[in-house]
Amino acid sequence: NAGVTQTPKFQVLKTGQSMTLQCAQDMNHNSMYWYRQDPGMGLRLIYYSASEGTTDKGEVPNGYNVSRLNKREFSLRLESAAPSQTSVYFCASSGLLAGGKDEQFFGPGTRLTVL
Partner 1 sequence: GENVEQHPSTLSVQEGDSAVIKCTYSDSASNYFPWYKQELGKGPQLIIDIRSNVGEKKDQRIAVTLNKTAKHFSLHITETQPEDSAVYFCAARLGSTLGRLYFGRGTQLTVWP
**86: which strand partners?**
none
43 binds partner 1 (CB under 8 A): yes
Whether the upstream peptide bond of residue 83 has omega within 30° of 0, thus cis, is no
Q: Distance between CA 91 and CA 8 in Å, rounded?
A: 12
Site string for partner 1, 3-42 (x = CB under 8 A): -x--------------------------x-x------xxx
60 binds partner 1 (CB under 8 A): no
What is the nearest approach in angstroms of partner 1 to the Cβ of residue 16? 29
* Interface with partner 1 (CB under 8 A), residue from 15, 57, 108, 113: 108
Of the candidates 32, 12, 37, the one whose C-alpha atom is nearest the C-alpha of residue 22 is 32
